[in-house]
Structure 1
Amino acid sequence: MTALIIASAQTCSIAGDLAANIQRHLALMVAAAEHGVQLLVFAELSLTGYEPALAQELAIAPDDTVLAPLRELSRELQMTVVVGMPIRLASSSGVLIGALVLAADGSLAVYSKQHLHPGEDAAFVPGLGGKALVWGEDRIALAVCADFSHASHPRDAAALGATVYAAGVLISEGGYAADSALLQGYASEHSMVVLMANHGGPSGGWACAGRSAIWGPDGELIAAAPGVGDALVIARREAGNWSGWQVVL
């Protein structure tokens, strides 16, 4: 197997402040590049914070020029970056919770959250998911928060050959134990690496737990953030073996 370095980017989003959040994303991208990260995944709605009441106002087309600094830096660093943003698509009648894939080659792909939490339908409509990222012999499937609460979602990803399941989430302190146990279970059940990128501070009225994590295909924890705050959780595969570390920023 080829070497692969992936990371969860845990940030403290400022509610509705796209410009400030973009700057923080850029800083974490630079920090990740210092560790050789090839794929960096941010939390659900990382660029705006989890703010359903602001979604109509903040939603953009995936190729909006406001994201140009992120796309340019991903090319410069040769890093593929997945960021969270409310989006509008011509094929959809409402606002979607998007995970935008800003690829190292300059291309753009869109994953839209398929399964909404109760109450989210007041601000969002369900999405259609998206294709797995092809990465050499690896297939990296994306998920956004409630997607992973449906066991069929990671199961279908594994059936299609996913070797990595990468979820951008918002998980509160109260939900962390159950949700992290689910994700860890998927890793061992489907023999795939599971990456979870959580918010590092309060968002949308939720006290987010931080503690972003990556589990190996045997279900064992590779690395995790120690708590809240900005951090990188990094996992490296070399000669078929996984190792990991975390960087508090």
Structure 2
Amino acid sequence: MSTNEQHGNKQGQRHRSAPVLWAAAQSLSVAGDVAANVRRHLRFMEIAAEQGVRFLLFPELSLTGYEPAMARGLAFTELDSRLQLLNNKAQALKMVTVVGAPLLSRTRADVQIAALTLGLDVGARVYTKQHLHSGEESVFTVGSGGASVDFQEERVHLAVCADFSHAAHAQKAATAGATLYAASVLISGPGYANDSGLLQDYSRTHRMPVLMANHAGVTGGWQSAGRSALWAETGERVAQIAGVGEGLLIASRTETGWTARTLTVSL
């Protein structure tokens, strides 16, 4: 592992007695191999915890890879034992962790794209993608979102990829008092400039920090752009992972502003 330190804005922030260390996990997913991906997640979680991270965000569909054709066969349930393993680890590490997976509805009739928050209590807290990318509707059904993730003095609002392409989604988060807008994504090279521009604009417009976790490489036939990033509430980009490849972006906010670093992960 190697470290690259970056320092962000120095605008005054409201007092927080114990600043949270936030992190985006830019991880690779093995297509359809949930067991391998769970092991990879567990290792990322351990590395992040060693750095003092208290909130860890993985990319969209991180536990299966972005593999729509396989989604139904790989889909999780809310009480899935594979999630329990990850939840136990998150609780042991005292680290709120958001992972991505296809999720069966309670009737098992539908499959949705979910972001599952672990480490807060006994089970997973569910957020389901509200806005599908073109073509996803052939496999997935539209989700209903989910409640904010509240811990310590923070309120995190989640977004899964195309959710943030709708300005009202970020507006709703800001109106609800989000202290962080956390987007789990798969963004390719051609779309990166536009999509990162939207996220940066939300941070500036709503005075709301934005954290984005992208895939580290190819998934579902798409070449991810990587470059997971954090934007401060001023719109300034605090830090960004350089290109593709596995790594962590770790950041903290104090009364004097943001400090961030990136960490190359070799598994």
Q: TM-score, normalised by structure 1?
A: 0.97
Q: Structure 1 residue 163 and structure 2 residue 179: aligned?
A: yes
Task: Give CA deviations for 1:178-226 in whole Å, capped at 9, x if unaligned.
Answer: 1001101100100111000000010111010000001111111111111
Q: Any conservation in 1 of the 2:79–2:123 contact (CA below 8 Å)?
A: no
Q: Structure 1 residue 214 and structure 2 residue 240: aligned?
A: no
CA distance in 2, matches of 1:106, 1:41: 19
Question: Which of 42, 49, 64 pairs up with 2:80?
Answer: 64
The change in CA–CA distance for 1:84 and 1:247 in structure 2 (over 3 A counts) is same
Q: Structure 1 residue 233 and structure 2 residue 249: aligned?
A: yes
Shift, 1:91, TM fit: 6.0
- Which residue is equivalent to 2:8? none
- Which residue is equivalent to 2:194? 178
Q: Structure 1 residue 10 and structure 2 residue 26: aligned?
A: yes
- Report the secondary structure of 2:39's partner residue: helix
Aligned positions of 1:33-52 closer than 5 A: 33-52=49-68
- Which residue is equivalent to 2:45? 29
Letter in 1 for 2:117: V
Letter in 2 for 1:96: Q
CA distance in 1, matches of 2:224, 2:32: 17
CA distance in 2, matches of 1:74, 1:240: 29
Shift, 1:106, TM fit: 3.6
CA distance in 1, matches of 2:181, 2:96: 15
Q: Structure 1 residue 135 and structure 2 residue 151: aligned?
A: yes
Structure 1, gaps ≥5 residues long: none
Letter in 2 for 1:157: A
Task: Give CA deviations for 1:115-173 in whole Å, capped at 9, x if unaligned.
Answer: 00111001100000001111233210000000000000000110111110000000001
Q: Structure 1 residue 197 and structure 2 residue 188: aligned?
A: no
Percent identical residues: 50
Q: Any conservation in 1 of the 2:27–2:215 contact (CA below 8 Å)?
A: yes
Q: Structure 1 residue 99 and structure 2 residue 120: aligned?
A: no
CA distance in 1, matches of 2:124, 2:75: 17
Q: Structure 1 residue 89 and structure 2 residue 105: aligned?
A: yes
Letter in 2 for 1:146: A
Q: Any conservation in 1 of the 2:160–2:185 contact (CA below 8 Å)?
A: yes
Task: Give CA deviations for 1:212-244 in whole Å, capped at 9, x if unaligned.
Answer: 001111111111111111110111012352111
Q: Any conservation in 2 of the 1:77–1:104 contact (CA below 8 Å)?
A: no
Alignment length (residue pairs)? 249
Aligned positions of 1:108-119 closer than 5 A: 108-119=124-135
Structure 2, gaps ≥5 residues long: 1-14
Letter in 1 for 2:205: E
Task: Give CA deviations for 1:30-53 in whole Å, capped at 9, x if unaligned.
Answer: 110111111100000000000000
- Which residue is equivalent to 2:9? none
- Report the secondary structure of 1:157's partner residue: helix
Q: Structure 1 residue 77 and structure 2 residue 98: aligned?
A: no
CA distance in 2, matches of 1:239, 1:14: 40
CA distance in 2, matches of 1:100, 1:92: 17
